[in-house]
Structure 1
């Protein structure tokens, strides 16, 4: 067995003089040194501290890491999970409003591309833009319904086909009223008249026996405030013209418009409001009995057919104009894609949301229009535009908050009614048990007698 050979330092005694005169030497203990570090203790040396058999050197327990201490003080992930669950619940409750808001975003993109096409070097007629948009939308509907094997496509269930036809005709008259009024009215004037459709739709849905949707005072106030916001954006003086000739928007630019022509344009625009209201109301009547794409397909097909016949048989329109640049092709394709997404989201959102609340969200299109106006053309909104935007956003948010409160109140009332019903049932059962016990006691007493 190998033993380490002691060195000279180990054999030599440590000498120190004593108090007596003779120089005697003795072994003295070494002065105390600093305590060893945990690292030295955890690594034993076979020379200084040989380990004993059957035992292992014990290492000190490690100190807690600062990272672990930071993690212990971090917020619990259950809080974030709870917030996400609540957010998803709110989004699910208001998914109809969110879809309508998304539809207005794509509607603003569609208006942006239409304005770029109509004001560019090679101006496209509004009917040609409408024909291209609705043709692409109809083709997308047919392709999607074919790939997804949509039930009852393309004509829809037999019990709602007449409603689908009314939806297509109403949508056509709504678009026709808008584009006809653009012949003698400015774009802002014609647009603000179309925003009367949500108010009319909310009232119509409240009087139809098949719907009987409540049209509360809050919804009426929100609709009126939103309409005031739209009027503020387009300026009240531009909507109510005087008796003298005014400037209008025509195919060749501004021109003089007589009061009679302006009156006819306003009346036709009101016919368009009734047509749009008919489309919105029939969507509510159809409900979930038909796929949203079938409803969109009816609308786009009717508009494409009427626009095609107008381009072919109305000489003043000027016929088709072929795109000359790649940008024009992209804009035409973008307007068709935006129209398809807009119609799908709008139809689905109106099916999920009550007409009075859902159609109020249509006013948000003016907000997106102001944003595109600033980003593309660099124009800033004026004072009245800011006021109108604030009114529109405030009304939309207010309608959503009121809906959430109404839903909460209804759920609480249901819970209270259920509790009251359970309590009444328990009391009735307890009274029946008391009666049975009394009857049993009477029978026992009679038997004893």
Structure 2
């Protein structure tokens, strides 16, 4: 007869049998993290909004939908809003050329980007952003690519304005969103839906109706200048130079489109690994160096200020350009390129509106039709965004963001593992007793 083995009886210390006592005791002693869990900026903004917002009960569902719409389309809205500042910059350039002798293109690029570079470095030094001069080590090559590509994108547009009309240059420039979306789908493997392609094509049609290029509509319509700079500042650029010069301008304009595509892909590839101002610093630094070398080579006639309004307008151009470029960079970081680039088409709408406000130019019916097409396409893309995140089941109230959800899931898995460890020992001992 075998001897009965000694065993310990495990009884709960609390009448709550749903949670084992050992696990229940440990729940109260989970150590507080040394630093608060990282929360997304959108969640922080949304919580702050909920605490401060005071609106009637009837309007709360509408306000809630609006807040969710802004969160889901933050990148697209940032890029579209940046076009307002780009249009203001173009108006300032036109006013600047009316104050004194028109500023040469390279001089304008040099001064504008130098102001942008100073703003970027000052911001990072004041805010304590790490690696303000060269950027984080893991993305420095991408930052170089962003600056190099961005300069060619800017130079291609400005050079083409010397020998092409503004309408022709505008249409060539707005090929950028389509080429960028296609390149992102091929290189970065981003999703490019049919609806985004159709909306982009319709937006390009709207741009053509507003710009009315000569090769489609002839030379009869006089297209207003939306504030872009033309070397020399006088005359129709399409009447300057030889056919070979205009062909070169078309080629460099397309090179500018490719440069803008490379810059957007670089920003998207960098993502959140670098601050948005890092990208803008690289872009402005390369533009300053390249335009400075080009001025030393070409030796253009430099224009110096003679009136205080000239200096103020030039500073305004630099600051507004800095804000616009920063918003574009933030938008590309938060949105797929195929959707984000749709916001670029809004610029020509702002340009047409500012022409009416500041220069009293009446838009034609075709311009109004093109504006409606662009706005409709942008709204369509914004409202048909697919939700890539799996949402909660009906009836569930989720208040945790991704970081907190991950933390809680980890704690629950640890708790379940501890429960299994606690229950496995007595069960094993009972099994051994039966065998004995």
Same fold (TM > 0.5): yes
**Equivalent of 1:340 in 312, 322, 327:** 322
1:183 aligns with 2:162: yes
Contact kept, 8 Å, 1:197 with 1:276, in 2: the verdict is yes
Corresponding residue number in structure 2 for 1:308? 292
Alpha carbons 1:114, 1:129 under 8 Å: kept: no
Calculate the aligned-residue CA RMSD, in Å: 2.3
Aligned to 2:222: none
Q: Which runs of 5+ in 1 are unaligned?
A: 1-75, 243-248, 419-449
Q: Structure 1 pair 83/241, CA: closer, same or farther in 2 (3 Å)?
A: closer
Work out the CA distance in 1 between the residues paired with 2:114 and 2:215: 34
Query: Aligned pairs, how many?
Result: 330
Q: 1:350 aligns with which of 329, 332, 336?
A: 332
Conservation of the 8 A alpha-carbon contact between 1:118 and 1:125? no
Report what 1:389 is aligned to: 371
Aligned pair partner of 1:123 in 91, 94, 102: 102
Shift of residue 277 of structure 1?
Answer: 0.3
**Structure-1-length-normalised TM-score:** 0.69
The 3 A distance-change label for structure 1 pair 120 and 189 is farther
Report the 3-state secondary structure (helix = DSSP H, G, I; strand = E; otherwise coil) of the residue aligned with 1:322.
Answer: coil
For the structure 1 residues 239 and 158, does the alpha-carbon distance in structure 2 shift closer, same or farther, using more than 3 Å as the test?
farther
Residue from 135, 152, 166 that aligns with 2:145: 166
Cα drift, residue 163 of structure 1 = 0.5
1:104: which partner in 2?
83
* Alpha-carbon shift at residue 411 of structure 1 (Å): 4.1
Residue 152 of structure 1 aligns with which residue? 131
1:286 to 242, 258, 270: 270
Q: Secondary structure at 1:287's aligned position in 2?
A: helix
Report 1:186-197 matches (<5 A).
Answer: 186-197=165-176
Give the secondary structure class of the aligned counterpart of 1:253: coil
- Matched residues in 1 for 2:269 and 2:135: separation? 14
The 5 A counterparts of 1:25-424 are 77-208=56-187, 211-238=188-215, 251=232, 252-254=234-236, 255-315=239-299, 317-318=300-301, 320-403=302-385, 406-407=386-387, 411=390, 415=393
Distance in 2, matches of 1:175 and 1:304, equals 12
Deviations 1:299-345 (A, max 9, x none): 01111111222223313x21x32111121111101000101100110
Q: Identify which of structures 1 and 2 has the higher relative contact order when contacts are C-alpha pairs closer than 8 Å and 6+ apart.
A: 2
Asked if the contact 1:283–1:350 (Cα under 8 Å) also holds between the matched residues in 2, the reply is yes
- Kept in 2, the 8 Å contact 1:160–1:286? The answer is yes
C-alpha displacement of 1:410: 6.0
Cα deviation, residue 240, structure 1: 8.1
